[in-house]
Chains A and B, each alone.
Chain A
Amino acid sequence: MKRYGMVIDTLKCIGCGDCVVACKTENKVPEGLCRDWIVEEVKGEYPHLQMEYRSERCNHCLHPLCVYACPTGASHIKKGTNITLVHPELCTGCKACIAACPYDARFVMPQGYVSKCTFCDHRLEKGQLPACVSVCPTHCMYFGDLNDPLSEVSQLLKRRKWKVLAPEAGTKPQVYYLT
């Protein structure tokens, strides 16, 4: 069993959106939609400020509420991994998964089915990194198997302070943010 995780160093991220564009071209995401996006969070008052940029996407949760909510089995977990995917042909576009996702990671394609980040599953199969990770000019994104204690991502989570988004949702998200 592989537990794929993405680790994003917010201290290095500059919010440039390269990951967004790379994802859009790699996955041919239609105009007006995106599978990843940038969040700017500012705390404090001038000049005592702190800022964090985050590249956000589907968290490929270990407890995927989206998959649980899907009435047709279109949303599913890829065998042997934690990657959640959608079978377009099984999806009726009922949006139950969209309502269930605490990360607002899903959207409806013009064709009527739901789509979202796949961790570039098609690239992983070829031994490549997700498009967003491979393009990042600051190298702030890391990807690997968190079940492998020697992987770069496991080592980073051991060494550095990190957080996940909406931990209270109990979804066990697998996108980690180094802070």
Chain B
Amino acid sequence: MYREGEKPWKIVGNSQDLYSHGRLCTRGTGGLGAYLDENRLKVPLIRTQKRGKQVFQEVSWQTALDFIAEKMELIRKKYGAHSLALFSHGIGGTWFKTLVKAYGSRNITAPSYAQCRGPREEAFKLTFGRGLGSPENTDIENTRCLVLIGSHIGENLHNGQVQEFAKAQERGATIITVDPRFSVAASKSKYWLPIRPSTDLALLLSWMHVLIYDELYDKKYVEKYTIGFQELKKFVKKFTPEWAYPITSLEPNLIRQTAREMAKHAPSVLVHPSRHTTWYGDDTQRCRAVAILNALLGSWGRKGGFYFPRKAHVPKYPIPKFPKPLKTWRDYLAPGQFPFASLPPANLLRDLSLPKEGKPAPIQGWLVYATNLPLTLPQPEKTYQALQNLELVVAVDILPTAITGWADVVLPECTYLERYDDLRISPGREAQVALRMPAFPPKYQSKPGWWIAKMLAKKLGLEKYFPWRDIEEYLDYRLKKIGSSLKEMKRIGVKTLPSNSPLYLPEEGDFSFPRPSGKIELYCKDLAAFGFDPLPSYTPHPEPPEGYFRLLYGRTPAHTFSRTINNPLLHELMPENEVWIHPQVARRFGIRKGEYVRLKNLDGVVSLPVKVKITERIRPDSVFMAHGFGQMQKQLTRAYGKGANDNGLMSRVAVDPIMGGTGFRVNFVTLERRSS
């Protein structure tokens, strides 16, 4: 952080940081805007009228925290502590997780599971014994062939991935991109496969067919490390590229050629597992197909495929054992429902907050940290319904958003530039620890998350779970355990610890994968035991009816969804989203360049007016827009009413029976001209 005199000037990355190499992403470079945003929440608020009315009174921290503590006590007495749910996103949520566990609930989740990464994590765990985590253990930097299927690296500006993508490109790696849209990555690819949306699994199966029946797969690797190859071989026999052609609209030759290209570079080939994987409800199975394809190519544990990440071990600050909750979300599941969910689907906790047949709902209170649930969870009308029936809704946030508008108590957190958080101990090629520390004192009456959670714990008699005096003592304790100190880390920011665990599989000798069989499980007995397909089957998904288009959505490098939408620097770079439509569609509807239209889904939900981008980059059967726009919170003076909210149009979801993911890409929209 650089200043000019007292005035903040700019943020520059730390060159020692393995995640940025000194080059921050667009949001990082514009991070100062979050601090400067005059629309920020400034003081604690307590609602004075009906929920959703947004009439609040400014109160002191004491009053706000007393109010919450009292209500939490009431919930504990009346319904049991397990009736409190925590929705949280990001590292700042750590303190609130501790608080809620100490209070006696394990109903803790993040929409980033069942609305995003969940299917991929479970599929890779079921196959290789471990998920991808964040950041992913993808060896893009060293790969000779990168296959992107549904991953839009570049528009998805995950800094490390983008930097490695550029390096791979520079080294001349072959890039194969499967996307119905001509994405940025597609434009940089040797092969672009403009697939018909929802048919990815058919393509993956036909690639497997070619690898196996043309004997292009890594025989040694498959024999040594996998089980279930014979079953797989038999299973994919009929899935020829000719079978896949009418389904995917991809020419058989192109399917064969790309399979050969992958095999040519194997094992230095990476079929990227993607990140947002909740598409059509059979997502764990599709991700399993990606995992199996990687196994056939021998890329897991190989240079240019997937590496085994290193992670620093930093002892925790000792706290007492958490109480065992009376009930957890699992107790509310039907037998066999979501057996492989490792976190509660956020929408499930939402649905458990709805009263049923006159009985009180199992969840009675929400603590919401840094996640804007009405714009994150599908079927927002259910979210609003739940919000009207809860005993307590607390939102800890930086900006006034849809969720803070519904809260009983709004607690203004300070931005990441004004606070310490817990240490960043994420996996990577090196074991690195990073410190977040305040560059400025908190503005207004905002407070850091650790302080809020600790104070609340004290009021609830749970102070023994926050036994440190302040965050500096906490961090210093942990850092001293690894031979550093807060003082040192304040100076250097990141520290790489020695680690020599192997990044790749050993050339010789055995290796046991963390699966029951000790092998990579091509055929998955665990899935079969629950009545799921042990090998991923293709099932067709509904096509848009006449006059409707599949609503596709994705990221934009300027924004981190709705979190940055009001940031003055980033808002200026991209103030609104556009709906991409093909020129044929524009002609058919008589839509002119730059015109604003509304989108209407099959359930009659209509979006805000959104600007049209007429482009050849989208298929005529689909439309596309960036997620995070269409804010209806008036206090966000820049973002208010700009662009359309794709999530508002997600009336329908296809639920993944394996882990509860909510497939979003089953919604169809038509275009309404403004005049009509």
User: Is A17 part of the contact surface with B, judged by Cβ < 8 Å?
Assistant: yes
Is there contact, CB below 8 Å, between B184 and A18? Answer: no
Note all chain A residues with C-beta closer than 8 A to B23.
Answer: 18, 134-137, 139
User: Is B112 part of the contact surface with A, judged by Cβ < 8 Å?
Assistant: no
User: Is B417 part of the contact surface with A, judged by Cβ < 8 Å?
Assistant: no
* Binary contact track A17-32/B, C-beta < 8 Å → 1, others 0: 1101110111010011
Note all chain B residues with C-beta closer than 8 A to A11.
Answer: 169, 188
Cα A51 to Cα B568 in complex, Å, equals 29
Interface stretch, picked from A42-50, A91-99, A164-172, is A42-50
Residue ID in chain A nearest B24 by CB atoms: A135
* Binary contact track B8-43/A, C-beta < 8 Å → 1, others 0: 011111000000000111100110100000000000
Is there contact, CB below 8 Å, between A24 and B569? Answer: yes
Q: How many of chain B's residues have a CB under 8 angstroms from any CB in A?
A: 43
CB proximity to A under 8 Å, residues B166-197 = 166, 169-170, 182, 184, 187-188, 192, 194
* Binary contact track A137-171/B, C-beta < 8 Å → 1, others 0: 11110000000000000000000000000000000
Cα A31 to Cα B37 in complex, Å, equals 13
Note all chain A residues with C-beta closer than 8 A to B25.
Answer: 16, 18, 137
Is there contact, CB below 8 Å, between B26 and A18? Answer: yes
Residue ID in chain B nearest A139 by CB atoms: B166
Note all chain A residues with C-beta closer than 8 A to B159.
Answer: 137
Note all chain B residues with C-beta closer than 8 A to A45.
Answer: 616
Q: How far is the CB of B237 from chain A (nearest CB, A)?
A: 30
Is there contact, CB below 8 Å, between B582 and A16? Answer: no
User: Is A14 part of the contact surface with B, judged by Cβ < 8 Å?
Assistant: yes
User: Is A88 part of the contact surface with B, judged by Cβ < 8 Å?
Assistant: no
Note all chain B residues with C-beta closer than 8 A to A136.
Answer: 23
Is there contact, CB below 8 Å, between B166 and A12? Answer: yes
Q: How far is the CB of B251 from chain A (nearest CB, A)?
A: 11
CB proximity to B under 8 Å, residues A39-68 = 42, 44-47, 49-53
Q: How many of chain A's residues have a CB under 8 angstroms from any CB in B?
A: 35
Contacting A21 at CB < 8 Å: which of B29, B163, B184?
Answer: B29
User: Is B157 part of the contact surface with A, judged by Cβ < 8 Å?
Assistant: yes
Residue ID in chain B nearest A16 by CB atoms: B557
Residue ID in chain B nearest A38 by CB atoms: B573
Residue ID in chain A nearest B185 by CB atoms: A14
Cα A138 to Cα B164 in complex, Å, equals 8
Contacting B582 at CB < 8 Å: which of A15, A31, A46, A51?
Answer: A46
Contacting A25 at CB < 8 Å: which of B10, B154, B192, B615?
Answer: B10
Q: A17-B557, A137-B159 are in contact. Are A26 and B10 (CB under 8 A)?
A: yes
Residue ID in chain A nearest B8 by CB atoms: A25
Note all chain B residues with C-beta closer than 8 A to A137.
Answer: 23-25, 157, 159, 162-163, 166
Q: How far is the CB of B555 from chain A (nearest CB, A)?
A: 11
Q: How far is the CB of B272 from chain A (nearest CB, A)?
A: 16
Is there contact, CB below 8 Å, between B29 and A47? Answer: no
Note all chain B residues with C-beta closer than 8 A to A138.
Answer: 162-163, 165-166
User: Is B572 part of the contact surface with A, judged by Cβ < 8 Å?
Assistant: yes
Cα A137 to Cα B22 in complex, Å, equals 9
Note all chain B residues with C-beta closer than 8 A to A134.
Answer: 12, 23
Query: Interface centre among B9, B13, B166, by most A CB within 10 Å?
Result: B166
CB proximity to A under 8 Å, residues B419-447 = none
Cα A50 to Cα B187 in complex, Å, equals 6
Note all chain B residues with C-beta closer than 8 A to A44.
Answer: 616
Cα A14 to Cα B573 in complex, Å, equals 15
Note all chain A residues with C-beta closer than 8 A to B154.
Answer: 14-16
Residue ID in chain A nearest B249 by CB atoms: A47
Q: A21-B29, A137-B162, A138-B162 are in contact. Are A51 and B557 (CB under 8 A)?
A: no
Q: How far is the CB of B192 from chain A (nearest CB, A)?
A: 7
Query: Interface centre among B26, B194, B620, by most A CB within 10 Å?
Result: B26
Cα A34 to Cα B569 in complex, Å, equals 11
CB proximity to A under 8 Å, residues B555-574 = 557-558, 568-570, 572-574
Is there contact, CB below 8 Å, between B616 and A31? Answer: no
- Chain A residues with a Cβ under 8 A of chain B: 11-12, 14-18, 20-22, 24-26, 28, 31-32, 34, 42, 44-47, 49-53, 131, 134-140
- Chain B residues with a Cβ under 8 A of chain A: 9-13, 23-26, 29-30, 32, 154-155, 157, 159, 162-163, 165-166, 169-170, 182, 184, 187-188, 192, 194, 557-558, 568-570, 572-574, 582, 615-620
Shortest beta-carbon contacts, A-B, top 10: A16-B557, A138-B166, A14-B154, A51-B187, A47-B194, A25-B10, A18-B26, A21-B30, A21-B29, A46-B616
